[in-house]
Amino acid sequence: MTDIPAPRHIPDRLDKPLRSAIFSWESLLVVVAAAIFAINSFASPYFLDPYSLSDLTFNFTEKGLIAFAMALLIISGEIDLSVAAIIALASTMMGMAVQAGAGTPELVAIGILVGLGCGAFNGLLVTRLGLPSIVVTIGTMSLFRGIAFIILGDQAYKGYPESFAFFGQGYVWWVVSFELVLFLVAAVVYWFLLHRTSFGRRVFAIGNNPVAAQFSGVRVGRIKFILFCLTGLMSGIASVLITSRLGSTRPSIAQGYELEVITMVVLGGVSILGGAGSIVGVVLAAFIMGLVTFGLGLLNVPGIVMSIFIGLLLIIVIALPIVWRRLRGNS
């Protein structure tokens, strides 16, 4: 009598990707975004108007562009608190160029190059001198905005060309703004860079263990320098957009943007300690913050209350994973 082999136990792995997707942080953000959208729809009769929804996107696109680069920087274990000050300095340089008769192409180039230069300056201080990025960028935050205040004082630069207004006020199709299209294109580019290239894998490796990454042949200093340059570059692009949208330059422009950018990144699931995060989460977090601030604006909530909310949100998002791990460890 032949022995019948016992059936092998084949683990069912087909549902694991689906289960992990359902219970992921990104899925939670989708639910939160849908809930806030529904609440705003009931709270204000003007919210669902297509032009109101188009205006909503201006609340997060400029900050979201910076958040993509900031996400990579934080994943690598660094941070840049000078992004809003870079916007102020780049906008001031564009304003000076306008007074000298510069046209739209020159203004765009100046804004982007000033942002890139500031990012490179931060990167050199961190990677060449070995200074802590949080200390360096607190210093350059004061430096860059201080230069803008010295140049402008309580004055403002105006007189930007009509063609320059397209970047911050123009529409590509119907109510779809140029800023939104640029935001979505940048999201795809940064998603591919972080999640589908060897560069992105090196960024994660550096954030998890920079010493091990260095011994594995990863050029840690070079990659961090590139990430600071990218953050400065995106700040320069944001300066073009916000200056174009406002049509003027003041030294107080983009005040507080650094807090909102970091909140977007952390809310999107990027670990403040480095080594983990996703661009999809940052995109969803940007939409959520846009929905919240726009909804509060429709309800005539004062700006200081919005700032309090964003500050509390940042604290909660940073503290929540730590508290959760401690509770699980004690259970």
pLDDT per residue as tens, the chain (331 positions): 455 555 444 455 545 665 666 667 888 899 989 999 999 998 888 888 898 888 899 989 999 999 999 999 999 999 999 999 999 999 999 999 999 999 999 999 999 999 999 999 999 999 999 999 999 999 999 999 999 999 998 899 999 999 999 999 999 998 999 999 999 999 999 999 999 999 999 999 999 999 999 999 999 999 999 999 999 999 999 999 999 999 999 999 999 899 999 999 999 999 988 999 999 999 999 999 999 888 888 888 887 888 888 888 888 888 877 776 677 666 5
DSSP string, 192-239: HHHHSSHHHHHHHHHHH-HHHHHHTT--HHHHHHHHHHHHHHHHHHHH
CA pair distance 251, 243, nearest whole angstrom: 11
Three-state secondary-structure class, residue 74: helix
Three-state secondary-structure class, residue 176: strand
* pLDDT at res. 328: 65
How many DSSP H helices and E strands does the chain contain? 15, 2
CA pair distance 306, 97, nearest whole angstrom: 34
Report which residue type is found at 53. L
| Domain 45-330 class, CATH top level | mainly alpha
Residue 192, Cβ neighbours under 10 Å: how many?
A: 12
* pLDDT at res. 16: 60
CA pair distance 225, 119, nearest whole angstrom: 8
* pLDDT at res. 304: 82
Three-state secondary-structure class, residue 156: coil
- Residue 272 in tokens: 């403040």
* pLDDT at res. 45: 83
Q: What own/partner pairs with CB < 8 Å and gap ≥ 24 does 107-112 have?
A: 107/160, 107/161, 107/164, 107/240, 108/164, 108/167, 108/240, 111/236, 111/237, 111/239, 111/240, 111/243, 112/233, 112/236, 112/237, 112/240
Three-state secondary-structure class, residue 1: coil
